Amino acid sequence: MPLFYAVLTLVTFLVWGFDKYRAKMNQWRVSERALFTLAYGGGAFGALAGMYLFHHKTRKTYFWVLIGLACVIHAGIIIWLISN
């Protein structure tokens, strides 16, 4: 399970960076649904790091709220997995 979170976090972070790059180039973008799916699927911390390091989607309050919620959910899951 730790490998799952590590891989998905890295993939999500890279997708966030890719989407930011595409935004700067005015090219096809990754959908917000895909970004949220990656975050809620296990890559929440990668999404948060991508938001912060790439300054991507930071002006949208609902991204902060929903990605923050995903981080809380996955932190709870990780804590539960470690304790059991």
The 10s digit of each residue's pLDDT in 32-75 is 999 999 999 999 999 999 999 999 999 999 999 999 999 999 99
Distance CA 32, CA 19 (A): 10
Q: Name which of 16, 27, 29 is nearest 63 in CA terms.
A: 16
Residue 84 lies in a domain: no
Do the domain assignments include residue 10?
Answer: yes
73 lies in a domain?
A: no
Instruction: Tell me if 37 is assigned to some domain.
Output: yes
Longest pairwise C-alpha distance within the chain: 47
Q: State the residue range of the domain holding 7.
A: 2-63
Residue 83 CB coordination number (10 Å): 6
Look at residue 72 and tell me if it is in a domain. no
What does the DSSP 8-state code read for residue 59?
A: T
Would residue 21 count as lying in a domain?
yes
Number of domains in the chain: 1
Q: Which one-letter DSSP state was computed for residue 47? A: H
Reported as a pLDDT band with limits 50, 70 and 90, residue 84 is confident
